[in-house]
Chains A and B, each alone.
Chain A
């Protein structure tokens, strides 16, 4: 939270010397990077866990590897969606 306020302060300080459009673009760019960075943390951990557990399951029961792989990709798809929404938010903040 402290980091957030510091970034906000910094953007304010920069904004004081910029025109409003530039100030808005600056703030949006900073927030966009932050948003994507935050959005990537959870899915990163989640996808790592999914793959690890899937490998464990496949090593334990190689005969059910096909089913585990399909389910694994489903789980990855759902987890990854969060990171991708973060990416879309990044694009929206930065360029929209």
Chain B
């Protein structure tokens, strides 16, 4: 107990020393967080194309390549390598996402959800790949588009299956609610279905990936600042191991988050589409 307290105290001292260390005008020494746009906004490589755009395009290309290679293989043999991977993903979508949320009727949505899952996962994954370390979904562009697409798709599905008025009647006046409560329920349902759903879908993906990215940036910067510390306090350099260990741990955690966010985005899409196809009775 004492030793941990001591360690925490020392760590706090170290940080305070770093933060308050007087920096030169040209190159500030110590720990300083850069302006957020310098770690999020990337300069154009070619006009109109920056790092995030390249990652998004590469995700689509890698996904296509994986499934192309898998589709070219002989299907009758026991699946190996890329074919096995592709089939595992397809089965995951069918069993764990569609069967759990939409049932057997939703099987027609497999290609859409499969593509969505693979694309988002491959956009998330560069966040933890060394030397790339930028998830394309940590910028609002891709999540916003995906959420808008989902919004259009589930509303269109609802209108197609229940008719325009039937769909909005089911959305705005959910059956089984006392008549007097509609005064309260209808505005809530309107906002939650038409505004909050796409908004929260986009913000969830975006904010999770951005938060993970910022965490990695912070611990990487802290490690760098400690290791390059040019103060008289010589023990600062070895202490840089601590944020580095946390950086490694958080990178492992981000692998999980990348998968989980792709999964949650796809599951929520399936739930919204399933809800629009089969209204509650």
Contact = CB atoms under 8 A, between A and B. Distances in A.
Chain A in direct contact with chain B (Cβ < 8 angstroms)? yes
A73 B207 contact: no
B207 A88 contact: yes
19 contacts: A66-B96, A66-B100, A70-B96, A70-B100, A70-B101, A73-B260, A74-B264, A74-B268, A76-B264, A77-B264, A80-B204, A81-B200, A81-B203, A85-B203, A87-B207, A87-B210, A87-B211, A91-B36, A95-B35
A66 B263 CA distance: 14
Interface class of chain B by DSSP: helix
B: interface residue count bin: 20 to 34
A41 interface: no
Given A74-B267, A80-B208, A81-B200, 11 more contacts: A67-B100, A70-B97, A70-B101, A73-B267, A74-B264, A77-B204, A77-B264, A84-B203, A84-B211, A85-B200, A91-B36
Contact of B210 (A76, A77, A91): A91
Contacts of A77: 204, 264, 267-268
B100 A84 contact: no
B114 to A, nearest CB: 17
B271 interface: yes
Interface in A74-96: 74, 76-78, 80-81, 84-85, 87-88, 91, 94-95
Q: Which 10 A-B pairs have the closest CB atoms?
A: A84-B207, A70-B100, A81-B200, A77-B264, A95-B36, A87-B207, A81-B204, A88-B207, A84-B204, A87-B211
Contacts of A94: 36
Interface string B167-207: 00000000000000000000000000000000010011001
Interface of A: 66-67, 70, 73-74, 76-78, 80-81, 84-85, 87-88, 91, 94-95
Contacts of B97: 70
Nearest to B95: A66
B263 A73 contact: yes
Nearest to B196: A81
Nearest to B99: A66
A81 B200 CA distance: 6
Interface in B35-53: 35-37
A94 B214 CA distance: 14
A66 B35 CA distance: 44
Contacts of A80: 204, 208
A46 B128 CA distance: 28
Contacts of A87: 207, 210-211
Contacts of B268: 74, 77
A63 B35 CA distance: 51
Interface string B10-33: 000000000000000000000000
Contacts of A88: 203, 207
